[in-house]
Amino acid sequence: MKKKIIFLFLFIPLMAFAQSGGESLPVHSTEVAPGVYRLFVNERVATVLFSGPDGVILIDAAYEQTATQLKAAIEAITQTPISYLVNTHHHGDHVGGNVALGSNAIIISHQYVRDYVSSEHRAGERVIPAMAEEGRPDISFLNELKLDFNGQTLQMLHLPKGHTNGDVIIYFPESKVIVVGDLLFADNFPYVDVGSGGDPMGYILNQQYILDNFPRDLTVIGGHGPIYTMERLREYNLELQKTVETVRIAKQQGMTAEQMKAARILREWEAWGKFFITEDRWIDTLFPVL
C-alpha cells in the first residue's frame, strides 16, 4: 500500500452538492446498535461507523467536500483511527471522502468499484478522473467477503445489477443491522445508474433478496433517506413495484413517456420525487425496460 501521492481533483458529486447550497450542514449521528452509528452527512448521504475492541470500520466516506465535517463527527465518537473503509459502490457521494478518511485504512470494495475509481470514467455526461492512489480500494472481491471484527463476522455481499453493477451490502449479524447502500433511497424514488450496469428490475429484485434472506428484525440503513425496519423496506418495495406496474400498464395502453409525465401517472407517489429522482425521471428510467 503506497499511499504517498497527494492529488486534488475536481469532483462534481452525482447529486449536485450545490443543491444544498454547498454549505456545511451538521452530521447527524444515530447509534442504531451498541457501537454502530449512522452518520447522516449534509442531510443527504448516510455513512456507518462501527467502533469496538478491534477498532473502527467505516462504511462509505460521503463527499470529498464533507470529509472534514465527517471526520470531526467520527472523532466525537472515537479517537481510534479507522482500520477499514468499505465502499458500497463507486458513486462520488460514497467514495469522495476516500482519500481524506481512508488513506491510512485498508479500503475494501467490490472489484468493479476498484476498477471504476482507478481510472477515468463517465457519469452521464461528465468525466470523472481517476482517484488518487491512496483513496483506491486495497482489497476487492467479486461475490462475498467476510471480516471478523469487533466480535462478529461482518458479511459483505455483492448484489449485481441493482443501483449499479457493483453494489455491496454489509450485514452485522450480532448488531442486527444491514447496510444496503443505494439499494435503498428510503422514502424516495431510487436512482438507478443504468450506464454503470444498474437495472430497475434488478433493483427491486435485490431488495426482495434482502427481505427473503436476512432476519426480519434488522435495522436497515440505506444510502439516502431515513433509517428503515425490514417491515418498512417490505412496504417500500411493494410501493416501488406498484410504480412499475403503473408505468407498464400505461405503456401497454400505448402511452408515450411524455404522455405519462403530462398525465402525472405517478402522482400518488409525488412525495417520493422531492429529493433527487422526480416522477418524470422515474418514468424515463422505467419506460425503456418495460
Out of 64, 182, 199, 279, name the contact with Zn ion by CB under 5 A.
Answer: 182
> For residue 203, what is its C-alpha cell?
433493483
User: Three-state SS for 149?
Assistant: strand
Binding map of Zn ion across residues 113-152, x = CB under 5 A, - = no contact:
----------------------------------------
Min dist CB 133 to Zn ion, Å, is 23
Helix (H) or strand (E) holding 117: helix 111-118
Residues 186-225 binding Zn ion (CB under 5 A) are none
> Which residue has cell 460521503?
62
The CA distance from 183 to 252, in Å, is 28
At residue 98, what is the residue type?
N
Our CB check for Zn ion shows the closer of 56 and 192 to be 192
Q: Which three cell numbers stand for residue 227?
A: 433509517
The nearer residue to Zn ion, 91 or 161, going by C-beta atoms, is 91
Residue 91 within binding range of Zn ion, rule CB under 5 A: yes
The label of the residue with cell 402525472 reads 264
Report the residue number, 64 or 182, with the smaller CB distance to Zn ion.
182
CB of 163 vs Zn ion, minimal distance in Å? 6
What is the size of the binding site for Zn ion (CB under 5 A)? 2
Task: Measure the CA–CA gap between 59 and 57, rounded to whole angstroms.
Answer: 7
Counted residue by residue, the chain has a size of 290
Q: Which residue is nearest to Zn ion (CB)?
A: 91
Binding interface with Zn ion (CB under 5 A): 91, 182
